[in-house]
Amino acid sequence: MTSPTASGIVSNRLPADEVSRNFDDLHPPYDPHEAVVAADRCYFCHDAPCMTACPTSIDIPLFIRQIMTGTPEAAAKTILEQNILGGMCARVCPTETLCEEVCVRETAEGKPVEIGRLQRYATDTLMAKGVHPFTRAAATGKRIAVVGAGPAGLSCAHRLATKGHDVTLYDARAKAGGLNEFGIAAYKSTNNFAAREVDWLLSIGGITVETGKALGKDMTVDQLQVGYDAVFLAVGLGGVNALRADGEDKDGVGNAVDFISNLRQSGDLTSLPVGRNVVVIGGGMTAVDAAVQSKLLGAENVTIAYRRSREKMGASRFEQDLAASKGVRLMFNVQPKAVHGSGAAAEVELEYTEEKAGKLTGTGKTIRLPADQVFKAIGQTLTTDAGLKIEGGKIAVTPEGRTSRLGVWAGGDCASGGDDLTVTAVAEGRDAAEDIHATLMGKG
C-alpha cells in the first residue's frame, strides 16, 4: 500500500487482477443466438406499453422483430432514429423501472423481455461495422451553438446536423461525453465505450467540437447569439450541494461526482486511493455508483446513508440490490449531523429521522460510524443561470425546450421538467433540435 492521502485512504488495496475482474461488464453482451432466443419471448404487442414507458419512444416491438429476422443493423437504425445514444442508454437506462417494468412478460411471469440487452446487441452490431445509418441533408447555411457535450447536447447536435445545419459543440471539459464519459460507473461502460460512441456520432459530419470552453467563463449567451442563428444550452449541473454538517471540510470528505469522474478517467484503477471505511451520503444513482465502486476498489466497509425511507430512494430497487450484493450496507432514515476526527475524517455522526405530516424531521437520536472517507451525493446545482428565467433551481423551459430568451433553447439536467436520466436528456435534445430547425426554417 502507498502512504495515505488522508487517514486510512490508500491505493492498491487489491491486486490488479482482482480489480480488473471487479470492474468487468455488469451485463455481458448477447451473442447472436442468445439475442434471437431473448427476442423470441416478445409478444410484439400492438399497443406496446414498453414504447409508452420509453422517454425516447423507440419502437421496441419493431426492433426486436428485426433482431428475430436476422437484421440487427435494421434494428439499430430503428433505435437510433429515436435515440442516437441508444448504445449507452442500453447500458445505463434503469430499464427495470421503464420499458421492462411494464413488459407484458413481466406482468404475467415476473421476468420481462430483456429489452436493454437486446438494444445493446443491435446498436453494438451496427457500430462494430463502422456504419453510420444517417446522412446530412443539403446545407441550410444556418449555424447553431450547442453548449454542453453531454447526452442532451450530443443528441441535439446530431439531429441538427442531419437537417443540414452547421453545429459548434462547446464543452467545459477536456473531452466530449458529459455524464456518459465522466459520471457513469465504470462497470456499466467498459472498453472506452462512451468515447467511441461520441466519435461514431460525430461521423455524421457538420459538427465542430471545442473543448475547454465554459459558459459564463469563456463565453456568454449574448456573444453566442451574435455569432449563431440559435443556441442550445445543455450545461448540466456542475455544482454540488453541501452537507450542512459540522466537519465537512475535513480531509477525506469529498464529492461523489468527482470520485466517479476520477475513476472513469484513470488508466490504472489500482492507483486510486480509497478509504477502509467509506460512507456515502445520498440515495440516488450517484450514491450507489460511488458506494459500489469503493467496494470494488477494496474498501472494507461501505455504507450508503439516506435520510428517507427505502421507498423514497432515488436509485431503483435493482441498483439498491446491486449495492447490497456487493457488500454495501444501506441505511435509511438517517441524515448527517457531523464528521468527527482530528484534521481528517474518522467518524461520521448520523441522526435518525422520521416523517411527520409529510415533513422530514430529526429525532435527536444519533449513531456514529467509522468513516475515513465520506462522499457527498446529495444533488447538484446550476453553476450559471445564463441570465435566463429559473424554475425550481433549473432553467425554465417549455415542452419544446424554449427558454425565456428568444433564440435560446435548453435541455438535459440543467433544464426544468425532466427526470435526471440519460435517456430523458437525449429526448430533450432531440426534440429541441426539431423545434430549432422548424423555427429557423420558418415553420415554427
Structural domains in the chain? 32-128 (1.10.1060.10), 143-238+382-440 (3.50.50.60), 240-376 (3.50.50.60)
Alpha helices in 272-331 (DSSP H): 285-296, 317-325
> What is the predicted pLDDT for the residue at 5?
46
Q: Which residues pair with 373 in a beta bridge?
A: 278
> What is the predicted pLDDT for the residue at 357?
86
Taking the C-alpha atoms of residue 39 and residue 34, their distance in angstroms, rounded to an integer, is 8
Q: How far is CA 207 from CA 46, 204, 223, 411, in A?
A: 38, 8, 19, 18
Are 196 and 238 in contact by the 8 Å Cβ rule? The answer is: no
Query: End-to-end distance of the chain based on CA atoms, in angstroms?
Result: 62
Which H or E run contains 142? none
Q: Which residues contact 345 (CB under 8 A, 6 or more apart)?
A: 6, 7, 247, 250, 251, 252, 253, 339, 371, 372, 373, 374
Reduced to 3 states, what is the DSSP secondary structure of residue 356? Answer: strand
Q: Of 384, 385, 383, which Cα lies nearest the Cα of 396? A: 385
Distance of CA 133 to the CA centre of its chain: 25
> What is the predicted pLDDT for the residue at 1?
37
Which positions of the chain have pLDDT values less than 50?
1-5
Q: Which residues pair with 329 in a beta bridge?
A: 303
Place of cell 453482451: 29
Which H or E run contains 63? helix 60-68
Rg (CA), the chain: 22
Can you give the pTM of this predicted structure? 0.95
Q: Of 166, 80, 169, 59, which Cα lies nearest the Cα of 122? A: 80
Number of alpha carbons in the 13 Å side-chain half-sphere of residue 366: 11
